[in-house]
Amino acid sequence: MNYTKLSNGISWVLHPFVLPVYMIVLLLTATTFALYPANVKFYLLWVVVLYAVIIPVLALGVLRSLGRISDFRVDDRRERLLPLLVGTVCYVLCAVTISKIPSVVFLRKFMVAAACCEAMCFAVSLRWKISLHLTGMGAAVALLVVMNVAGVGHMLLPLTIALLGAGALASARLYLGCHNGRQVLAGFGGGFVVATLAMLFL
């Protein structure tokens, strides 16, 4: 088996850009959000895709064309600062846009939590390299844990899948040599703690 291709595949499937899309789809299909009209669900999905995927990817393209990043993987710690700043702003704007629908407070909290995770990674990246992939997974696991504790939907199976995914992703990032054990652990732990605190108190 080609473990390099497998590890790259896992890294792309569980990329920080697409994790919010997985989570919004889960929320819109397996919780009380499933009762919303189709046009509202499409609006929420579009807003998340716009701010979590489309704008950040376009920003990376602009930064690449300007020579501010050397490649789209953004492995260099110093090159991550601008993309992380853009990501933080995007998630804040996403939370503000979603807040126009008062009944989706939980989703707004998740977007605020994502913004806080981006800001945390930005602050850490000033001095040290942290795993952005595992930060995203830590935040996703935190959301599912909070949902399980709050009794929002049946989230035990998704939580189990997310934990297994986090383990596979950590192994993939270590195998590819993108991070060491401390960077992976700091990413997951930081994402989990920051996202949990943000969802509980913000």
Give the three-class secondary structure for 178. Answer: coil
- 8 A C-beta contact, residue 101 and residue 108: no
Give the up-direction half-sphere exposure of residue 162: CA atoms within 13 A in the CB hemisphere: 25
Confidence of residue 74 (pLDDT cuts 50, 70, 90): confident
Enter the pTM of the model. 0.93
Tell me the per-residue pLDDT of 118-172, one tens digit each, with 9 for 90 and over.
999 999 999 999 999 999 999 999 999 998 887 776 788 999 999 999 999 999 9
Spatial separation of the C-alpha atoms in residues 93 and 81, rounded to whole Å = 19
**What's the chain's Rg over C-alpha atoms?**
16
Give the up-direction half-sphere exposure of residue 141: CA atoms within 13 A in the CB hemisphere: 24
- 8 A C-beta contact, residue 187 and residue 131: yes
